[in-house]
Amino acid sequence: MNDLKNQSLANRLKFAFAGLSYAIAAERSVRTHLMCLVGVVVVLAYLRPAPVWWALVLVISCAVIAAELFNTAVERLADQLQPDLHPQIRIIKDCAAAAVLVLSAGALCVAAALAVSLWGAH
């Protein structure tokens, strides 16, 4: 049995927060998305949309941040496995970055739908 897989919840949370802390310190894009999340929460508090909008906006915002974290993990792993420039590693990194782009575009679509919903109601 792998003892590393069956650690306490406290230890697993410690590892997760260590990863988040690393990404915040090392990745400008993670910091940017977190600042956007703070801004989004402020805007939601001001606009006071229906709870379903809070849920949609927060879920897509967290998904973007999660994609950034996966992107960071993939980049670090790829760099560890192949420190030199390699065309296949470039494709892997580009695809991971594209996942963030796709989710970010989805987040903008949610924001646009919220704007239409709020301004259409007035």
- What tens digit of pLDDT does each residue of 106-115 get? 999 999 999 9
Task: Write the CB contacts of 11 (distance below 8 Å, at least 6 apart in sequence).
Answer: none
Which residues have a catalytic role annotated? Answer: 68
Tell me, yes or no, whether 28 lies in a domain. Answer: yes
Residue 100 near residue 66, CB atoms below 8 Å: no
Distance CA 70, CA 62 (A): 12
Tell me, yes or no, whether 26 lies in a domain. Answer: yes
- What tens digit of pLDDT does each residue of 1-30 get? 567 678 999 999 999 999 999 999 999 999
**How many distinct structural domains can be found in the chain?**
1
The pTM assigned to this predicted structure is 0.88
Residue 96: domain span = 9-120
Distance CA 94, CA 99 (A): 9
Tell me, yes or no, whether 1 lies in a domain. Answer: no
CATH code for position 49: 1.10.287.3610
- What tens digit of pLDDT does each residue of 73-110 get? 999 999 999 999 899 999 999 999 999 999 999 999 99
